[in-house]
Homo-oligomer: A and B are copies of this chain.
Amino acid sequence: MTGTAPSLSTGNTAPLLRFETQLLQRSADIEAWFRSQWHKTAPPFYCSVDLRNAGFKLAPVDTNLFPGGFNNLNPEFESLCVQAIQSAVERVCPDAKSLLLVPENHTRNKFYLENVATLFDLIQKAGFHVRIGSVIPDLREPTDLTLEISGRTLHLEPLQRTGNRVHLADFDPCVVLLNNDLSAGIPPILDGVEQQVLPPQALGWHARLKSHHFGFYREVARDFGEVAGIDSWLVDPLFRNCGQINFLKREGEECLVSNVELLLEDIKAKYKQYDIKEEPFVIVKADAGTYGMGVMTVKSVDDVREMNRKARTHMASAKEGRDVTGAIIQEGVYTFETWGPEHHTAEPVVYMIDRFVVGGFYRVNEKRGNQENLNSPGMSFKPLAFESCCSHPDRTLAPDALPNRSYAYGIVARLALLAAAREVAASRMLAKAA
């Protein structure tokens, strides 16, 4: 197999084919439902969703409100991104002329810097004055970075604040676009800013919990199941969560053990219902986002009880050194998509701007198995841009033909987008009430 897209290497793809067929038949109703949902709850500015395709199940495993990786998208869909950015900005600030982009601080990640340059370019092409405001603490003056991969130049300027407005020396933007996930908390310079900040600071990973997101996702998947006429489990990873865990001190271990046990039983029941022969497994992750750190694959309660010191240290580590204080135990979804003659595991990542799917790419990993997390520290993946933009089906082709499989990816990714939209709305309501 050296085709232009990954292939599914599993026997039991019948449920997925039924699912894809159903999506095609009901696409107008599904799209009408999505439209009605966006009227109730505005979509976030942008979002990327990691999916896993087990053949019998297609589900999101991570929803990123501050997506990097725009440089990995197919350049053919650039105009689609441009058009979607125009819609996104118009939704939040119809009069916006200028936009300030606040990226992550890690200027040594050459891939991430390409993402910033691509995002900058897209916003400029969408017709906005755009500049980059950095929150790197020791950045004292404007600095040009020449990018190692593309040779493009990034002009970073230190973010300044006057009263409740952030700005650059001679640039007072209407909108602040965060591409910084605020893992280390909201920097004081961005706290209580009067400009529109997108996505809202409160959704940074310092505060956001995966269990909140997947709680909203569960509701969304149920509603969608009714509209699409499918069992929502086909798109929804089961989960449970534990509030207080300290892996190093072995505090909260019993909560983890009992939840792992209950969740494995629930998955077994579902596997039995659909005659799935694979072995169920769960993923234990830090509930607060961690850039893929602190993730463990578990097949039995013994895996938890027998964690060694090294595994405990791994689970306790999180981005920028925060302790893990809560854990989410999530149904593991096999990745049965593989790429190339050596069947490397491939995981789709779908990108959305506003309510529009604008493409995506596969993370192709040469070293990881089909039960493991492909977005881990030190992980080297090869991005493989989608050929299709995932936004619409092609009825002249089979339900599992590439554009239609991509459309299914786009639908499931938008379910996660809708869950994120409800998360944002809930956080705004909380902020108002506070």
A-side residues, CB < 8 A to B, are 27-32, 34-36, 39, 76-77, 79-80, 82-84, 86-87, 90, 94-98, 124-129, 356, 389, 391-395
Contacts and interface: CB of A to CB of B under 8 A. Distances in A.
A166 B259 CA distance: 58
A79 B28 contact: no
Contacts of A389: 79
Contacts of A124: 28, 395
B391 A35 contact: no
A32 B97 contact: yes
> A94, A95, A392: which has the most chain B beta carbons within 10 Å?
A392
Nearest to A407: B125
A94 B34 CA distance: 11
B36 A393 contact: no
B393 A39 contact: no
A391 B125 CA distance: 8
A130 to B, nearest CB: 8
B97 A28 contact: yes
> How many copies of this kind of chain does the complex include?
2
A277 B96 CA distance: 44
A323 to B, nearest CB: 43
A182 B356 CA distance: 34
A285 to B, nearest CB: 34
Given A79-B77, A79-B389, A35 B126 contact: no
A126 B94 contact: no
A29 B97 contact: yes
The 9 A-B pairs of least Cβ separation, nearest first, read: A31-B127, A125-B392, A32-B97, A79-B389, A28-B129, A82-B392, A79-B391, A79-B80, A83-B356
Given A31-B128, A34-B127, 8 more contacts: A28-B128, A29-B97, A39-B94, A76-B76, A82-B392, A87-B87, A125-B392, A125-B394
A25 to B, nearest CB: 12
A126 B39 contact: no
Nearest to A130: B28
Contacts of A392: 79, 82, 125-127
A360 B399 CA distance: 31
A95 B38 CA distance: 11
Contact of A126 (B31, B83, B128): B31
A241 to B, nearest CB: 35
Contacts of A87: 87
Contacts of A90: 35
A400 to B, nearest CB: 18
A140 B88 CA distance: 46
A126 B127 CA distance: 25
Nearest to A28: B129
A55 to B, nearest CB: 26
Nearest to A85: B392
A191 B192 CA distance: 55
19 contacts: A27-B127, A28-B124, A30-B127, A31-B126, A32-B95, A32-B128, A35-B90, A35-B94, A36-B95, A79-B80, A79-B392, A80-B83, A82-B392, A86-B356, A87-B87, A124-B395, A125-B392, A125-B394, A127-B392
A385 to B, nearest CB: 14
A194 to B, nearest CB: 21
A391 B82 contact: yes
Contacts of A76: 76
A21 B82 CA distance: 21
A347 B395 CA distance: 34
Nearest to A39: B94
Contacts of A97: 28-29, 32
A76 B90 CA distance: 25
A410 to B, nearest CB: 11
A352 B355 CA distance: 20
A28 B127 contact: yes
A34 B35 CA distance: 26
B393 A125 contact: yes
A389 B83 CA distance: 11
